[in-house]
Structure 1
């Protein structure tokens, strides 16, 4: 079994520009570093391309309304500040503003989804 996230599918309802900006930054830094924060939704095809059979695939998109799990996004944002700034993606001022705006939705009943994960059960093709 293989499971991989896809940050391009995160959402917040009601919509939040701060929440969207967090994921824009995560995706941008992953592109600059050659990481794959969008791999989850293409995992099935990747496995087929390398000759693996993927007899089943499932997509999971957890959502959070009232939980400390909402902290993962802003804590991750603050953890990556130096990398974002060094890459020229943002400024310290924008990060502070984004984190403050994000805090406004954390205490409300906003529905947030942090990523999609794709699960594939695979076997080698014979």
Structure 2
């Protein structure tokens, strides 16, 4: 009958909408996970470059770039839609009160970017020490 067909179509329509909603949610979740992974890679890259500097270079104002930008896809062409990560690095005194406190610094790397209209950010903090840096690279 017509009522049964109408109810059947409503059930099928609801199932199709739920299926596509699940696909959309899954793709969005994967995109956010990829962006988080890339943000982690960028923050680690910036902190790993500190290992290449001497202690004097780290303490020289202006030697270590404190602001930077990085693309989501470094191999994307100029015309391609690409997420740009804006970052800042802060090098400050370590919040400790020990005899070696002058030989340590606290480094915080912060990233901001947009996913569509959603503002996103991540932050990473680590410590570096005078005797923990390599002096033979530069």
Q: TM-score, normalised by structure 2?
A: 0.27
- Which is bigger in relative contact order (C-alpha 8 A, separation at least 6)? 1
Higher gyration radius (CA): 2
- Report the structure, 1 or 2, having the larger strand content: 2
